[in-house]
Structure 1
Amino acid sequence: MLLAWLRRLHPGNFRGRLTLWFGLLSLTTLLIVGLYVGRIASLELAEFGGRTLHISARSAADLLASNLSERDREIRLLRESLVFANGDLHNPEIGRMLTVRQQTHDEYAWIGVVDLHGTVLQAPKDLLVGNKIGHWPWYQAALKGPYTGDVHEAQLLAEQFPQRAAKEPMRFIDFAAPILDAQGRVRGVLGAQAHWDWVIDMAEAATTQNATQRQLEMLIADVNGNILYPFHHTGSLQLPKPVQPDKPYEILRWNDDRDYLTSIAEVQAKTSTPLGWRIVLRQPLDDAVRPLRTLHRELEIFGLVVAFVFAFIAYRLATRVSQPIEQLARAVRDVERRDRLPVYPDEHKQINEIRQLSASIQSMTGALLRHEKELKTLNASLEQQVHERTEALSIANQELERLATVDGLTGVHNRRHFDARIKEAFQLLGRSERGFGLLLLDIDHFKSINDRHGHQAGDEVLRRLGQLLTQSTRVTDFVARYGGEEFVVLLPECTDPNEGSAVAEKIRAAVAATDFPEVGQVTASVGLSLARKDDASAEAVVTRADQALYEAKAQGRNRVVAR
């Protein structure tokens, strides 16, 4: 039966040609439409996956850069304290100060003071006190200026802490700065070694969401492309050179001979010594394109099934149309052979078959149109999904932009946004001589507030202070949280010291007059600095404001000091 059916489909007869034509036409149409829809969906899915990868990598890099910059600045500011510059480096007060710092930032494995002979003088819990560490690289570098060291092993310090992983050595990063006397001469070194686990935890916290389901892997690479984390890749895996460095993501071949969808984000930390670290997120290409391959396979199967159905329908129609024609051909052959009387097709049947053929063609055309409509509906549904995902990505980008510029606790701008604004103001000063002022204020005895009333009450004080600063400044002024209990106010086009002092005094008085919930009266000290044409950078303005703030603290707090 099958052989008989195949003989009927011989391409030389009308029935076979009609069946093949309709089958090939439907298959070609479906393949073209399917490839077009699949290509659009593939491009949109690949774009969405790559940008999602880059957003995660960028978030981790920004978080890491912010924390590294904070630790570097903390060490540089701490060594400028008067107790270091003028006091005895053996003073127990220094040891208590270092202990408080370590308790405040548990990422510090060790923090201490070293004299010019390389002997450790002060450290929390007397850790390494009396040891000679003059040959350590960070100590040698800090004698010349502030220094931030790359990740390394430290056998002497590692012996003091429990091992995190059996096959992974303990590693640390260094922050150090020289201690100067009043004449600017080096009298010692303030150094700190932070746990490498602190860096890893920050990076993983920003990238591990849904990473297991998507088979993502987070790596940290140094400036030369060597893998610093995870440790089992160190020395064996090398970061490949991007083909298009400006593109947020691309497919790269790694030296493990596998292709990965890769996104690289530079850790732009403002440290004393540039580190050049990069956060790398990679996803095996097979996992990245698996949804696309599934979509293509489903479209191909769908096209083949529909083509088979169309071919079967075409065969049935061709059979009904070809019967009178075949009967007529047999009649012609009978006439030619003259061996028997020809039997012609019944005229009534012939007209009826033509009418049926017309109805069948209309039915087939209707089926094609319905199927085309179904494909258009499928295409519209896919485009709607792509639009919704694009819109969701846009909303996520906006939210990330807001989180990147606004402090989550106080609602005012954050340190990163402030750094960008003061840099713009300093550049404007150089081009148009339009000056600006800077207020740096700090809540007096804030640690006592936290100790006495709890951190929740302290957080409420910070939130209320952010509101007061916004209410006490002009619309054009820029209010930001600088770090901890410190806030900054950027005063555009403020060149008159009296004007800056008036704003600072207004803020100080508003704080002193406010009744803070659960705490009561709180005071704040304010340091004022105006930008000068001879300033080498915006950091000089911040430094003067910081020094003025320290003077206000030294003069009894709850006051404004300008420099």
Structure 2
Amino acid sequence: MPKGDNLSNASKNEAHSSLQSPTHSALHWFNSFRNRIAVLFGCLLLILGIIVVSYIYNASSNRLTIASGKSLAIIAQSVSNMLSSTLQEREREIILLSKRPLFATERNQEKMQQALDRIKDSYEHYAWIGFANADGKVMVAGKQMLQGADVSQRPWFILGSQAPFIGDVHGALLLASMIAPMDDGSQPRLVDFAAPVYGENGVFEGVVAAHSNWAWVRSVLNSALPKEHDGIEIFIIDKHNEVLYPNALIHSTIVPNNIPASGEFQYNEWRDGKRYLTAMALVDSQVSTDLGWKILVRQPSDMAMSAVHDMRVIILLISIVATLIGVFTAYQLAGALSRPIERLAATALGIKNGSRQISFTETDSRLKEVISLSNSLQGMMTSLLDREHSLVQMNANLEATVQKRTNALEQANKELAELALRDPLTQCFNRLALEEAMTQIFKQAAEDGEAYSVIMIDIDHFKAVNDTYGHQAGDEALKKLVELMHNNTRDGDFVARYGGEEFTILLPKTDSKTAAERAEQIRQIVQDTVIEEIGHITISLGVATYCQSDQRAEIILDRSDEALYQSKENGRNQVSIN
């Protein structure tokens, strides 16, 4: 063969060897027993880690979603209950006001003016309260606002002349220039409460109405939110799914169409492109007008699931580090393995399939390298099981944390329910609690025929006390009066603030004579008590006792109120019995 041909063949072989070297190098590396063991063991650890991480993450995600959703649903229902309670209390106050003889038959303008001024002062969110006659002319109003104005074309007058009425949220029109704007600078928004007034023989005499400032809803919502609310937002929407609150988002936020049912929760995509965990509760206030309001509570999904996301990162890091350590250890110890490899592989496969009773140390090999490898694999399996146990423990701790938050929310809701029945100044029962107690004691009296009595109390010249000594001194006088009433009544008696400086005492199983004696005792003690900064005050009292002919609990309250006004007309600081 010529010399040139040999050189040519050598070049071709060299080129062919150069082209094949990457593939041959890879195959040569994989053909190494040690490398194969390292790859196999690394894959086994990785698969097992992925299975454990996926299971724990999915289980934790589902449980945390349910717990967070229930928490939002509890908040939504709590806000709904508080709104319902407030609407019922305001409507009952207007209905009771419309049934008072002062408006129905007497219509003494001076007394009506005093009564409306007291009511407006007793509830800070009343923007306006007044009485319009049958022609729609405002005859009397708190602080004389809009007095003499024609309201005959206003919806609250038209609908309120037919039956008790609550209007939806709307902007202020006639009152716009008389009341201050809201905290965010927007125009004030109002909710109307109205009830017809009927005189003798059922003749329509006019409408008693009040406009409540929509700002009261802010205090309700703030009290329902937990201290650490993690991005939780509360919306009030009307029956057309239009936002009523918060004011800043009325025109910029569009509610999704597929909101959850009342008491339920789900994830929703809102118009801002973000995903929120959303819960809804209907405002079922059981009032005369079906407003169709709903409470929506939402929380960004990333905040709702933040604990699970953090846990997933930690678990992944632990899995990666454990996998790298396992691969490195297996690579170092696999060099001397040969015959027992099938047994070790079978053992690894059994572990992969979920068996926890197999041991790597059960081998018949006498080679110290194999024994060493077996012991190392057994140690890694124990470490992996310990990690699995740690992850399960972490999951249990997470569930305990969620349960603790749920219990805290439930306790907060119980406290909110208790606060709803208490007067914030005097800490005695409020008018809502009084109405519930009156209904219960009236029902019991109607069943067993045993009488009970009602004492209506009013502080004499209380406006003069506020004007002379200041409202703080007046507040102290109210609290002192409540303390004296509690100290001079029985454990079963019921003391409540009726409104302003008026209080009511329910005396179960008490006849008229005993009630009058108790009223005189309280009157004398109040008269003799010295109040700091004020001195002495006096009170007027009216007593009424249940009769079997009484058809409603309100009748006894009205009779005690009439007796109270009789005490005032006779010179105050005395007890009158109806």
* TM-score of Structure 1 vs Structure 2, range by shorter chain: 0.7 to 0.9
Q: Deviations over 1:145-181 (max 9, x none)?
A: 5433222345444355676699966543223344555
One of 481, 484, 488 as aligned partner of 2:500: 484
Measured in 2, the distance between the counterparts of 1:560 and 1:69 equals 32
Following superposition, the deviation at residue 134 of structure 1 comes to 1.8
Which one-letter code corresponds to 1:519 in the other structure? I
Using the TM superposition, name which of 71-80 and 405-414 deviates more: 71-80
Q: Displacement, 1:276?
A: 4.4
Instruction: Indicate yes or no: 2:155 matched with 1:137.
Output: yes
Alignment partners' CA distance in 2, 1:25 and 1:432: 79
Structure 2 CA distance for aligned equivalents of residues 390 and 442 of structure 1: 44
Q: Does 1:465 align with 2:481?
A: yes
1:172 is aligned to: 190
SS in 2 for 1:144: coil
Q: Does 1:217 align with 2:217?
A: no
Question: Cα offset for 1:551?
Answer: 3.4
1:139, distance to aligned residue in structure 2 (A): 1.8
RMSD: 4.5
- Partner in structure 2 of residue 312 of structure 1: 328
Q: 2:168 aligned with 1:150, yes or no?
A: yes
User: What amino acid sits opposite 1:195 in the alignment?
Assistant: N
Correspondent of 1:496 among 486, 511, 517: 511
What fraction of aligned residue pairs are identical, expressed as a percent? 35
Q: 1:167 to 1:180 in 2, by over 3 A?
A: same
Gaps (5+ residues) in structure 1? 327-348
Structure 1 residue corresponding to 2:568, chosen from 550, 553, 556: 553
Q: Could you tell me whether the CA contact under 8 Å between 2:89 and 2:432 is conserved in 1?
A: no
Secondary structure at the counterpart of residue 504 of structure 2: strand
**What SS is found at the alignment partner of 2:541?**
strand
TM-score (norm 2): 0.74
Q: Which residue of the partner structure matches residue 295 of structure 1?
A: 311
2:235 maps to 1:202: no
Structure 1 residues 23-67: Cα deviation after superposition (integer angstroms, max 9, x where no partner): 455445544544554456445544553454345445544554454
Task: Measure the CA separation in 2 of the matches of 1:167 and 1:518.
Answer: 39
Report how many residues are paired: 535
Partner residue of 1:360 out of 367, 376, 385: 376
2:350 maps to none
Q: Which residue of 1 aligns with 2:398?
A: 382
More off after superposition, 527-536 vs 511-520: 527-536
Paired residue type of 2:535: G
Structure 2 SS opposite 1:457: helix
Distance in 2, matches of 1:130 and 1:175, equals: 19
Task: Please tell me whether residue 53 in structure 1 is matched to residue 68 in structure 2.
Answer: no
Check 1:402–1:163 CA distance in 2 against 1; reply closer, same or farther (3 A cut): closer
Q: Report the equivalent of 2:426.
A: 410
Q: 2:506 & 2:23 partners in 1: Cα distance?
A: 90
Q: Is the 8 A contact 1:511 1:522 kept in 2?
A: yes
The partner residue of 1:523 within 526, 538, 544 is 538
CA gap 1:500/1:20 in 2 versus in 1, 3 angstroms = farther
State whether residues 242 and 250 of structure 2, in contact with CA within 8 Å, keep that contact through their aligned partners in structure 1.
Answer: no
Distance 2:118 2:423 in 1: 25
Aligned to 2:3: none
**Cα distance between partner residues in 1 of 2:405 and 2:507:** 41
What is the rounded CA distance, in whole Å, between the counterparts of 2:217 and 2:414 in structure 1? 27
CA distance in 2 between counterparts of 1:535 and 1:488 reads 19
Alignment TM-score, normalising by the size of structure 1: 0.76
User: Deviations along 1:4-40, whole A, 9 cap, x unmatched?
Assistant: 9975885x98656754564455445544544554456
Contact kept, 8 Å, 1:437 with 1:491, in 2: the verdict is: yes
Contact 2:336-2:370 within 8 A present in 1 as well:
no
Deviation at 1:136, TM superposition (A): 1.9
Deviation (angstroms), 1:81? 6.4
In 1, Cα distance between equivalents of 2:250 and 2:531: 52
Once residues 361 and 384 of structure 1 are traced to their aligned partners in structure 2, the CA distance between those partners, rounded to angstroms, is: 34
Partner residue of 2:529 out of 497, 514, 531: 514
Given the superposition, is the C-alpha separation of residues 442 and 43 from structure 1 closer, same or farther in structure 2, using an over 3 Å criterion? farther
Return the alpha-carbon distance in structure 2 between the equivalents of residues 43 and 560 of structure 1. 65
- Relative to structure 1, the CA distance from residue 253 to residue 532 in structure 2 (aligned partners, 3 Å threshold; closer, same or farther) is farther
CA contact (8 A) 1:240 1:254 kept: no
| 2: CA distance, partners of 1:553 / 1:216 | 52
Deviations 1:182-216 (A, max 9, x none): 665334444443433x24443454367769x7333
What letter corresponds to residue 149 of structure 1 in structure 2? G
CA distance in 2, matches of 1:422, 1:2: 94
Match of 1:262 among 270, 275, 278: 278
Letter in 2 for 1:310: G
Q: Distance in 1 between matches of 2:201 and 2:266?
A: 54
Cα distance in structure 1, aligned partners of 2:373 and 2:390:
25
Q: Is the 8 A contact 1:226 1:239 kept in 2?
A: no
* Aligned residue in 2 for 1:450: 466
Partner of 1:118: 136
The amino acid of 1:461's aligned partner reads A
- 1:396 corresponding residue in structure 2: 412
Q: Deviations over 1:237-272 (max 9, x none)?
A: 45757655344x444566888754333344465756
Residue 7 and residue 547 in structure 1: after superposition, are their counterparts in 2 closer, same or farther (change >3 A)?
A: farther
State the Cα distance separating 1:536 from its structure 2 match: 4.8
Contact 1:525 1:560 in 2 (8 A): yes
Please list every run of 5 or more consecutive structure 2 residues that lacks an aligned counterpart in the other structure: 1-20, 343-364
Q: Give secondary structure in 1 for the equivalent of 2:168.
A: strand
SS across alignment from 2:167: strand
Question: For 1:451, what is the secondary structure of its paired residue?
Answer: helix
Q: Which amino acid aligns with 2:416?
A: L
Aligned match of 2:455: 439
- 1: distance between equivalents of 2:389 and 2:396? 10
1-structure distance, mates of 2:439, 2:394? 51
1: CA distance between counterparts of 2:533 and 2:273?
62
For residue 137 of structure 1, report the CA deviation from its aligned partner. Answer: 1.9
Give the AA of the match of 2:571. G
Shift in Å, 1:220: 1.9
For residues 450-500 of structure 1, give each alpha carbon's deviation from its aligned partner in whole angstroms, at most 9, with x where no partner exists: 2222233222233333333333222233333333333333334x2633344
Offset of 1:135 from its aligned partner? 2.0
d(CA) in 1 for partners of 2:547 and 2:266? 45
Contact 1:94 1:122 in 2 (8 A): yes
* Cα pair distance change 1:214/1:355, threshold 3 Å: closer
Secondary structure at the residue paired with 2:572? coil
Q: Tell me how far apart the structure 2 counterparts of residues 436 and 268 of structure 1 sit (CA, whole Å).
A: 33
Amino acid at match of 1:116: A
* Separation in structure 1 between the aligned mates of residue 563 and residue 22 of structure 2, nearest angstrom: 99
